Amino acid sequence: MDPATHLAIPLLILLAARMNPRLVVPLSFFALFPDFDSLFGIHRQLFHNIFVTVLIPLAFLIYAKARKPGWVLPIAIIMFYLISHVMLDLSGVALLYPFYQEAFYFEPNLYFYTQPTVRFDLVVEWGVRPLQDDYEYVFISEAGFVYLFVLVAVLVIFRTEMKGWLVRRVEDVKWILRRIRSFFERSE
């Protein structure tokens, strides 16, 4: 999937669930985080595995629940963004990297036919295959533009809620940085 899709789909889901935009929007960066493994030349491996997307955030979530209850929701949102990224990339992801470097894939396709009769066929392919190196990276696909359009439409619809966030975005970033700093200071 392209970055626009990775960003728009989980963000739209969280906004549709009426999550606080002041919390959801700044943390949306984490929806793109797994793709930074391509900078190391091992795309869909290093940051696309269950250790980075599930186990490490789960450890932080357990710690936060015990020591910093105010951090539970932000960490759960980060975990949602990371997991949604991997789910959207399930056309081939090394889920057990570095222990198992084959790609797990799950590809559902819904086909629509009009001849000889109108019908839908659902074809699901899944399994394990060698991980393919992809050096060509689609930055925004056709679907990505559609998702961006929908995201902009949602932001316009929720403009009243978003206006406060946009006006105070500097304070929000400072608030997040203070929370991160206090989290690490207390853990020392």
Q: Could you report the per-residue pLDDT of 47-103, keeping only the tens digit for each? A: 999 999 999 999 999 998 899 889 999 999 999 999 999 999 888 899 999 899 898
| Distance, CA of 92 to CA of 86 (rounded, Å) | 9
Query: How many CB atoms neighbour CB 162 within 10 A?
Result: 17
pLDDT band per the 50, 70, 90 thresholds, residue 2:
confident
CA dist list (Å): 179 to 123, 144, 171: 46, 32, 12
> Which residues, other chains included, contact 126 with Cβ-Cβ below 8 Å and sequence gap of 6+?
105, 106, 107
Q: pLDDT (tens digit, 9 = 90+) per residue, 125-146?
A: 889 998 876 655 666 667 777 7
The whole-number pLDDT of residue 28 equals 92
